[in-house]
């Protein structure tokens, strides 16, 4: 079975076998386009799903859409940003449209991007704005059980000290948290808002007064409603570990009286050209930027797979171009192999790849075995064909896409190797060898030219 690093346990743990499993994945705040760093976090849950489904586990996945409640000053300092402005409202004002229209526009953009990366859609994708009653019911339950309190102005706060195991996900203990400012309305400085008074565009009536929910209560309410109070896996990027997941765990467990999430799994940050990817730094790359550069969007997926999910990844345009060349080469090879007699899969190579998948999603090791299989002349082409297509159920690279296309789009036997050699020659600055290989390819009927994004052939 799959073994994966559990953030709360601080170790790699085996996912207990089950016929069906429930997974919650924190979704986007829909006030702008998702950048490729955001999308890397979404790939994590897709990989887990594909690996477990390969093991005949039926997955039920829920991913939220945050279209209210995520404030501009939500930070990782322990404060919950009670005084900030809603990100969706800020975006709507900046773009001169309603909050609903803005949220739907960027929600659709997110869904197009995830589809382009072959991320399987979740069974449940609730919007926060359409789940307000669930949140009000959960807040009322927390008040009733002594874990939350309402203030005269209509705000409701979670009573942090009432949950003694706070900090087990992130390691941030309540007695060590130091707030930037002291709010005299709170019983304890690290209490966070479950409901915030407001009468603006994004506000609803509640027993405590008109307002809107806190960001953290949203995921608790939607996950409990759609997946129940026993959730096998909860995934997201490492930036949500604290305070979001710490607060979410406290809310959910306090409401139901037991540990709700069995395994917390987090993916690491993505850098681009050595710098953090963030709008504040001006270092943002969208999936549309990749496709406008002439690269296949699944080159992004392969570039992500080249690194372990819990390792920081420094993405570059050179990395993306190399991944694009590999995706195109593998598709051409699969199409070429498809014309050979069928043969059983290369069992040992497949076993090693699947073992890498199971070993804490060691996708770099899996890709090394695939490259080894591609070059192994002792394996019949038909066996390579069957093996690559079988493993693509997890890789999700659309490796069969060239099959059935006009023959002139399929490389002749041996041409892929010459193209790879020419790439290496160009990278080494060996222009004479590069020209020689281009001439050799021309005699095979393959015309090669060079572009700003690498060599292209027809």
Report the C-alpha gap between 96 and 235 in whole angstroms.
Answer: 34
- Residue 321 in 3-state DSSP? helix
What are the φ/ψ torsions at residue 355 (nearest 5 degrees)? -65, -35
Report the C-alpha gap between 339 and 453 in whole angstroms.
Answer: 30
26 is an annotated ligand-binding site residue: yes
Q: Which residues of 360-391 are buried (b: 16+ CB within 10 A; e: fewer)?
A: bbbbebbbebbeebbeeeebbbbbbbbbbbeb
377 is an annotated ligand-binding site residue: no
Residue 185, both tokens: 């309305």
Task: Measure Cα distances from 229 to 24, 76, 259 in Å.
Answer: 12, 26, 8
Report the C-alpha gap between 254 and 137 in whole angstroms.
Answer: 14
First to last CA, the chain: 43
85 is an annotated ligand-binding site residue: no
218 is an annotated ligand-binding site residue: no
Report the C-alpha gap between 254 and 357 in whole angstroms.
Answer: 35
Query: By C-alpha distance, which of 238, 293, 300 is closest to 265?
Result: 238
Contact 319, 302 (CB under 8 A): no
Task: Measure Cα distances from 263 to 69, 171, 218, 450 in Å.
Answer: 26, 16, 19, 48
Contact 455, 422 (CB under 8 A): yes
- Residue 62 in 3-state DSSP? strand
Query: By C-alpha distance, which of 202, 192, 195 is closest to 88?
Result: 202
Across the strands, what pairs with 204?
211
Q: Where do runs of H (alpha helix) occur along 165-312? A: 215-227, 246-256, 287-292, 298-305
248 is an annotated ligand-binding site residue: yes
Residue 129, both tokens: 């704005």
Tokens 């990989």 belong to residue: 47
Which DSSP category does 146 fall into? T
Q: Which residues are annotated as a binding site for ATP?
A: 279
Q: Which residues are annotated as a binding site for Zn(2+)?
A: 26, 219, 244, 248
Q: Which residues are annotated as a binding site?
A: 26, 219, 244, 248, 279
């Amino acid at each position: 079975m799959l073994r994966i690093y559990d953030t709360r346990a601080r170790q790699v743990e085996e996912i207990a076998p089950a016929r069906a499993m429930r997974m919650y994945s924190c979704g986007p705040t829909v006030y702008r386009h998702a950048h490729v760093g955001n999308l890397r976090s979404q790939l994590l849950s897709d990989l887990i799903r594909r690996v477990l489904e390969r093991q005949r586990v039926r997955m039920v996945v829920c991913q939220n859409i945050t279209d209210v409640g995520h404030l501009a000053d939500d930070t990782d300092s322990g404060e919950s940003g009670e005084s900030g402005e809603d990100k969706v409202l800020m975006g709507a004002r900046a773009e001169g449209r309603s909050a609903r229209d803005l949220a739907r526009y960027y929600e659709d953009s997110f869904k197009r991007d995830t589809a382009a990366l072959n991320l399987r859609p979740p069974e449940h994708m609730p919007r926060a704005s359409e789940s307000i009653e669930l949140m009000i019911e959960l807040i009322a339950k927390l008040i009733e059980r002594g874990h939350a309190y309402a203030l005269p102005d209509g705000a409701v706060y979670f009573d942090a000290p009432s949950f003694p195991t706070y900090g087990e996900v992130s390691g941030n203990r309540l007695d060590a948290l130091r707030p930037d400012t002291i709010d005299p309305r709170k019983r304890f400085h690290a209490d966070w808002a479950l409901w915030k008074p407001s009468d603006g565009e994004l506000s609803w009536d509640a027993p405590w007064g008109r307002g809107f929910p806190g960001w953290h209560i949203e995921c608790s309410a939607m996950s409990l409603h759609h997946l129940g109070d026993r959730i096998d896996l909860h995934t997201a990027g490492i930036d949500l570990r604290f305070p979001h997941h710490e607060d979410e765990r406290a809310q959910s467990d306090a409401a139901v009286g037991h540990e709700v999430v069995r395994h917390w799994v987090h993916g690491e940050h993505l850098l681009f050209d050595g710098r953090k990817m963030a709008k504040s730094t001006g270092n943002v790359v969208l999936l549309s930027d990749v496709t406008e550069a002439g690269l296949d969007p699944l080159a992004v997926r392969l570039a992500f797979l080249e690194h372990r999910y819990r390792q920081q990844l420094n993405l570059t345009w050179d990395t993306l171009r190399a991944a694009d060349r590999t995706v195109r080469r593998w598709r051409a090879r699969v199409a070429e192999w498809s014309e050979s007699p069928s043969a059983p899969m290369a069992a040992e190579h497949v076993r090693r790849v699947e073992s890498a998948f199971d070993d804490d999603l060691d996708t770099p090791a899996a890709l090394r075995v695939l490259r080894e299989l591609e070059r192994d002349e002792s394996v019949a082409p038909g066996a390579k064909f069957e093996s690559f297509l079988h493993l693509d159920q997890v890789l999700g690279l659309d490796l069969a896409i060239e099959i059935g296309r006009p023959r002139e789009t399929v490389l002749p036997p041996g041409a892929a190797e010459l193209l790879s050699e020419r790439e290496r020659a160009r990278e080494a600055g060996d222009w004479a060898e590069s020209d020689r290989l281009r001439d050799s390819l021309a005699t095979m009927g393959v015309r090669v030219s060079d572009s700003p994004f690498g060599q292209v052939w027809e």
